Homo-oligomer: A and B are copies of this chain.
Amino acid sequence: MGIQERKERERERRRQQIMVAAKRVFSVKGFSKATMEDIAKEAELSPGTLYLYFKNKDELYASLSLRILQYLLIRLEHVNAEPDLTPDQMIESLKETMYDVYEFDPLILVNMFHLQSSEALKNLTPELLSEIRDLSQNSLNTMAKIFEKGINNGAFVEKNPLVFSDIVWALFSGIVLWEESKRIFNQESNSLKETLETAFEIFAQGIKKMERR
């Protein structure tokens, strides 16, 4: 391993260290209320150091979203790679993927919609921006491929697979946000798992072609 490579590795370790700290802080305080100093303290580094690894606060934030999108894509490709899934198995597999994404990073997902603000996008490097775009595009496409199979083999009603993907992702995001918001407003709430379970079950029923004789 060359010295160059070792350095690169070391640098990556630091980045991760910062991102882990940032995730924790953003989760608790939200994007705006979290300060760079909070994050620096959590990472046991000084504020200045953060700027050696991330151009600015927005970029640090966006990098977190990148990470979860990467994880999502890997999981979806895994589902897609598996041959011979029955429709029910496929939906089940998607459900588990979503649930794992949630476990991987429950609160960042909630906050990921911070990126919606076109103001927030202004401070991102074009590279990071397009990386995020590509990743989410790829995730959607992979999901669409999964549904395409189902349609092709006659298991699913004929619909645009891309719309199916949208609905799955929206369903998932919506449920996470919704549960979270109910928790905060202290309203009785079914567990995320239960709601997710039911939602996907309903979804599965809905897209299965009912056999008629």
Contact = CB atoms under 8 A, between A and B. Distances in A.
Given A29-B119, A207-B202, A190 B175 contact: no
Interface in A108-152: 110, 113-121, 132-133, 136-137, 140
Contact of A187 (B121, B133, B174): B133
Given A133-B187, A167-B195, A187-B136, A116 B177 contact: yes
Majority SS at the chain A contact face: helix
Contact of A178 (B159, B166, B185, B194): B166
Given A163-B194, A181-B113, A199-B170, A210 B210 contact: yes
Number of copies: 4
Contacts of A178: 166, 169-170, 173
A110 B162 CA distance: 22
Interface residues of A, number: 61
Interface in A1-50: 28-33
B116 A110 contact: yes
Contacts of A198: 159-160, 163-164, 167
B116 A184 contact: yes
Given A177-B173, A177-B177, A206-B202, A113 B113 contact: yes
A96 interface: no
A180 interface: yes
B185 A174 contact: no
Which are the 9 A-B pairs with shortest beta-carbon distances?
A174-B174, A202-B206, A206-B206, A170-B174, A205-B206, A32-B32, A30-B117, A170-B178, A170-B175
6 contacts: A29-B117, A31-B32, A167-B171, A171-B174, A174-B177, A202-B203
Given A29-B117, A170-B177, A201-B206, 6 more contacts: A33-B119, A133-B185, A166-B195, A167-B199, A170-B179, A205-B205
